[in-house]
């Protein structure tokens, strides 16, 4: 079996040496980087199976900013990154996990635990169907499931639409796992995370010498995906002037690595995703209609979590189980009040927000029941509630004005803008409802 590669990123030579020794003994090939820059250069040439990243570089020991920044730069590669921290800094760890790391380990580490974690994360990342199970109990998701079962085995290009965190990436992996390409590669690439200057090299690859920093031949996403699935996430962020380059490959079925004369066949199935309204972007002249038609042979729209009530608690329970296991904690249940809070929250960040809320709750909870104190929820951003109480129109209008005034600390211009009326119109209503005293003087 091919040796798995672990990249250790730490500025402390002793730590790198110790990890190298330990992991070589477990039959891993270990490569080392002593800085963020060295790490970025290395992964241009070698694709490790896992990265072990120190969050606390000595230049910036307390904030871990450098490590977090690197984590974001690594995001388009979709490689499993495990964090190391010298001391339990929960806030930093949570930020790291939210920026895409798969796990963390504290220094000094327990050897067995470290080796087990590395092996399990490499396994998970290599088998998309192994990833978190897919929850779809709500009627909206049930309906979608039927469509997915029909579309997955076809070769049709799919466009997945949905707000942030609704599960677009997970769905793409699932469709791949349900297709006849399941034994081939799944290559995911986040278009928003690629600098414009690297777009062609990331997608189509380059040969040595194609540009100043091209020190080695490198395969791009199309080349790596081969006969598998290529997932282009956040396709809506692809700059207009680069769109023809992608369109051309989709039309001709061929691509040419930068600096090469040889054309290669694009054999992968394409799934793209966006949280943007592409029709609107086309109207605004920001997205090409011809590219849109190429991408969207079929469109799958993932509903927002607030429209999938029946999925909220099953998802929450799945996340509790997942994070309790990950953080070596005993299984927890939720109090009725905590459940009610989850069911009534607005979930602007959808399933991802729910997973973060549960992850935090599991981390900070020391009892066996999660209660409302452990649920740190973002305040609602919606100004109008969907369940409008039975009131007269006048009472409703008055209530809406009072709420808007409170929200803007009595500032009249801001309140008027929020309500979509002129300042004079607002003033007349303040007078009518005797609310002048509630408005602050500007």
Ligand X SMILES: Nc1ncnc2c1ncn2[C@@H]1O[C@H](COP(=O)(O)OP(=O)(O)OP(=O)(O)O)[C@@H](O)[C@H]1O
In the complex, which residues of this chain contact ligand X (CB under 6 A)? 132, 134-136, 162, 164-170, 233, 275, 315, 351-352, 355
| In the block, residue with structure tokens 């966006």 | 274
Neighbouring residues of 70: CB distance < 8 A, sequence distance ≥ 6: 9, 36, 39, 40, 53
Give min distance, CB of 282 to ligand X, in A. Answer: 20
Give min distance, CB of 230 to ligand X, in A. Answer: 15
Give min distance, CB of 234 to ligand X, in A. Answer: 6
Q: Is 214 helix (H, G, I), strand (E, B) or coil?
A: coil
Whose Cβ is closer to ligand X: residue 86's or residue 170's? 170
CA-to-CA distance for 225 and 197, rounded, in angstroms? 21
Whose Cβ is closer to ligand X: residue 4's or residue 356's? 356
Buried b (16+ CB within 10 A) or exposed e, 100-125: bbbbbbbeebeeeebbebbeebbeeb
Whose Cβ is closer to ligand X: residue 19's or residue 136's? 136
Whose Cβ is closer to ligand X: residue 275's or residue 374's? 275
Give min distance, CB of 352 to ligand X, in A. Answer: 4
Whose Cβ is closer to ligand X: residue 52's or residue 136's? 136
Start-to-end Cα distance in the chain: 73
Q: Which residue is nearest to ligand X (CB)?
A: 167
Q: Apex CA 196: angle with CA 195 and CA 197, to 5°?
A: 90
Whose Cβ is closer to ligand X: residue 165's or residue 257's? 165
Computed from CA positions of residues 135, 140, 146, 149, in that sequence, does the dihedral angle turn out positive or negative? negative
Give 326: exposed, middle or buried? Use CB within 10 Å, 0-12, 13-18, 19+. middle
CA-to-CA distance for 272 and 266, rounded, in angstroms? 15
């Amino acid at each position: 079996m091919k040796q798995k590669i672990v990249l250790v990123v730490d500025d402390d030579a002793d730590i790198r040496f110790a990890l190298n020794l330990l992991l070589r003994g477990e039959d891993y090939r270990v490569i080392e980087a002593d800085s963020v820059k060295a790490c970025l250069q290395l992964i241009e040439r070698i694709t490790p199976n896992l990265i072990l990243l120190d969050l606390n570089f000595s230049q910036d020991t307390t904030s871990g900013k450098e490590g977090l920044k690197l984590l974001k730069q690594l995001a388009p590669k979709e490689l499993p990154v495990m964090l190391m921290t010298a001391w339990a800094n929960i806030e930093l760890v949570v930020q790291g996990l939210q920026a895409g790391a798969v796990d963390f380990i504290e220094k000094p580490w327990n050897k067995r635990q470290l080796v087990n974690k590395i092996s399990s994360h490499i396994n998970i990342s290599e088998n998309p169907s192994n990833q978190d199970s897919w929850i779809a109990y709500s009627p909206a998701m049930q309906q979608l499931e039927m469509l997915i079962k029909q579309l997955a085995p076809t070769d049709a290009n799919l466009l997945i639409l949905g707000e942030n965190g609704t599960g677009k990436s997970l769905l793409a992996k699932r469709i791949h796992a349900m297709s006849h390409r399941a034994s081939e590669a799944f290559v995911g690439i986040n278009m928003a995370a690629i600098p414009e200057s690297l777009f062609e090299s990331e997608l189509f690859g380059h040969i040595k010498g194609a540009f100043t920093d091209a020190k080695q031949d490198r395969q791009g996403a199309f080349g790596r995906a081969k006969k598998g699935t290529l997932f282009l996430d956040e396709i809506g962020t692809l700059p207009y002037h680069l769109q023809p380059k992608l369109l051309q490959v989709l039309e001709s079925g061929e691509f040419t690595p930068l600096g090469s004369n040889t054309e290669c066949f694009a054999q992968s199935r394409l799934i793209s995703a966006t949280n943007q309204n592409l029709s609107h972007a086309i109207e605004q002249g920001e997205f090409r209609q011809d590219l849109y038609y190429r991408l969207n042979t079929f469109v799958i729209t993932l509903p927002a979590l607030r429209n999938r009530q029946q999925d909220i608690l099953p998802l929450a329970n799945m996340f509790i189980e997942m994070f309790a296991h990950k953080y070596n904690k005993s299984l927890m249940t939720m109090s009725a009040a905590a459940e009610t809070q989850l069911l009534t929250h607005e979930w602007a960040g959808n399933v991802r927000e729910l997973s973060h809320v549960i992850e935090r709750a599991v981390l900070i909870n020391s009892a066996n029941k999660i209660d409302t104190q452990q649920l740190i929820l973002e305040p609602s951003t919606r100004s109008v509630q969907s369940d409008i109480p039975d009131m007269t129109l006048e009472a409703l209008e008055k209530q809406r004005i009072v709420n808007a005034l409170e929200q803007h600390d009595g500032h009249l211009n801001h309140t008027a803008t929020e309500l979509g009326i002129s300042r004079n119109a607002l003033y007349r209503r303040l007078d009518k409802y005797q609310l002048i005293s509630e408005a602050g003087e500007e």
